[in-house]
Structure 1
């Protein structure tokens, strides 16, 4: 899915090293697998609240990681269930990005809520079309079935769920909510492509997938525009917007691609435009208009200037987090 990100994000994944040595072991209990056989094969406990979970999935060609933040009073040995936020990262990034690039640990610690951050690779948040043949990689199945079941069966995650995402992860969060009505009580999208079939967007998507990801053949992902139009539409939040009635929604994006209040451009970059944010803003405005036509309530923050980066997205997270917690029925502790 679309995501040409700002290079302001640190390239090194240093959080684990900073947190000290992790205890990489087979789980000390007998993990319950997902219905299709996806299973937890290892756990790395980074600190009292942070676990990195390794999953072997029939939906993916390789084992994948999920980072889990648990509440302060969390325990596996209880009948209690905790509300959970599923947080999706953008392209050319990994499951560590939310803890690396935001203060999600501090923010979530004030609430009795879990945060689950699954690996997404550059998988476009879909079960790949593969010219109509299906089969792996099946990222939507991994995220919306396997990860949910494994978290609920092994980490005491509840069914009061929210989803949030940035960039391609914002598309993923909104597409999953629209394709699986009722799965999430609240969805927050920051700088996402929310009108997948808007003229010009499929071509741009194919270009990004072909040249900036490891997809190989980009037509494998959603199919050939026009020829496989039904599959493109079946994954378009704009087309599926009516399915979001009853779900709390937050949509934000910049529109100009110019640096905003959170950005720190180098000399000579003061008027530098990040084109990807312009496309995100255009499709987000389309999506918001469609929601209004359908009388679907939404909180919107279309802010004009602001680059496609974590500095801006962290500010957005702080805006929507209290709204998301209220929808989950969670109060500050």
Structure 2
């Protein structure tokens, strides 16, 4: 996953970006560098008046040529012309959402603006943060390849991102953050999961995942395969089975465990899906916690008991972990 030539400064792109006011701009004629597999930036748009929030459109070979977006939060003194690079946080969203999720549901722009680091929020759709199995044939969509082999190189080649990186996400995005950190050992300084399933082979969990993914209008077996007959592929993407790969990475994960509402949660019935799913998630995180202790891998586990699978909990938890993540990246606080 180590892309080459990351230190190049593309001055033409710098001039173009500095002139964008708000309307989408084509990248035609702008010398953005491509990712090694040919993924390329085709458009960009500033979405904040202070020019610190930028949407980038990428044509992705990993996703079959689809055009997908990444939202960037840029630090105060960021400049494409700079000779320095910045540490970067890859912030992943949950299912039934998109790359704007964190910006819409939290004040992450304000929180991130206090630190000298880039934040990249790439599209993840309902892709489960994996290259789909597709009956053993592989092929598109390749969501892991999009995030790892396309987004990361594009950020380094074009936006002055360094190789000092962290991954964090909520729900399936949290599962993705921990999975990527384990599969690409020591490539992330910090990895954090907020209510992510961290043992997808825990008894009962595959059935739940198959049900949820079928409800998305997808062939559930296309993602990791059949949980019985293709169990080996599931293990290759299961944080619990991959845990040894997290040695050397700072780890944080959190979840509710009781199936009861927590602080700030809506008053819902006991059979509410948000309560049930969080209790299941919490059970997988408890197993993962035990696994890390067996492997003697340092980590912070915040298994807080009462709490629903929703934003009130995630807003609280991300504010707890953000300064710790910044410290791991050596990102200076303004």
Mapping 1:252-331, distance limit 5 Å: 252-265=254-267, 269=268, 271=270, 273=272, 274-331=275-332
Q: 145, 148, 165: which is aligned to 1:141?
A: 145
Match of 2:22 in 1: 22
Hey, what does 1:32 align to over in structure 2? 33
Q: What are the equivalent positions in structure 2 for 1:219-238 lying under 5 Å apart? A: 219-238=221-240
Which ranges of structure 1 fall in alignment gaps of 5 or more residues?
1-20
Contact 1:191–1:277 (CA under 8 A) maintained in structure 2: yes
How many residues of Structure 1 are paired with residues of Structure 2 in the alignment? 308
Alignment of 1:1-333 (within 5 A): 22-27=22-27, 29-47=30-48, 48-61=51-64, 62-211=66-215, 213-215=216-218, 217-265=219-267, 269=268, 271=270, 273=272, 274-333=275-334
Q: CA deviation at 1:188?
A: 0.8
Query: What is the alpha-carbon distance in structure 2 between the residues aligned to residue 204 and residue 172 of structure 1?
Result: 17
Partner-residue secondary structure (3-state), 1:91: coil
Q: For residue 271 of structure 1, report the CA deviation from its aligned partner.
A: 4.7
Q: Give the equivalent residue in structure 2 for 1:15.
A: none
1:244-273 per-residue CA deviation (whole Å, 9 max, x = no partner) reads 0110000100012221112232xxx36564
Conservation of the 8 A alpha-carbon contact between 1:259 and 1:270? no
Partner SS for 1:54: strand
Larger relative contact order (Cα-Cα within 8 Å, sequence gap ≥ 6):
1
In the alignment, the residues of structure 2 paired with residue 242 and residue 39 of structure 1 have an alpha-carbon distance, to the nearest angstrom, of 34
Q: 2:7 is matched with which residue?
A: none
**Secondary structure of 2:24's partner?**
strand
Give structure 1 regions of 4+ aligned residues with deviation exceeding 4 angstroms. 270-273
CA distance in structure 2 between the aligned counterparts of 1:263 and 1:39, rounded to whole angstroms: 41
Q: CA deviation at 1:22?
A: 2.8
Q: Displacement, 1:29?
A: 2.8
Find the counterpart in structure 2 of residue 13 from structure 1: none
Q: CA deviation at 1:97?
A: 0.7
Q: Distance in 2 between matches of 1:63 and 1:162?
A: 25
CA distance in 2, matches of 1:131, 1:270: 39
Cα distance in 2 for partners of 1:281, 1:76 equals 42
Equivalent-residue separation in structure 1 for 2:313 and 2:165 (angstroms): 24
Contact 1:84–1:113 under 8 Å retained in 2: yes
Q: Deviations over 1:9-39 (max 9, x none)?
A: xxxxxxxxxxxx8320023731100001000
- Which whole-Å deviations, capped at 9, do the CAs of 1:92-126 have from their partners, x for residues lacking one? 00100111101110101010011000000000100
8 Å CA contact 1:259–1:272 kept in 2: the answer is no
Question: What is the root-mean-square deviation of aligned Cα atoms in Å?
Answer: 1.2
Which range moved further: 22-31 or 199-208?
A: 22-31
TM normalised by structure 1 equals 0.90
Matched residue SS, 2:224? coil
Q: What residue ranges of structure 2 are gaps of 5+ in the alignment?
A: 1-20
More helix by share: 2
- Pairwise CA distance, 1:322: 1.1
Deviation at 1:226, TM superposition (A): 1.7
TM-score by length of 2: 0.90
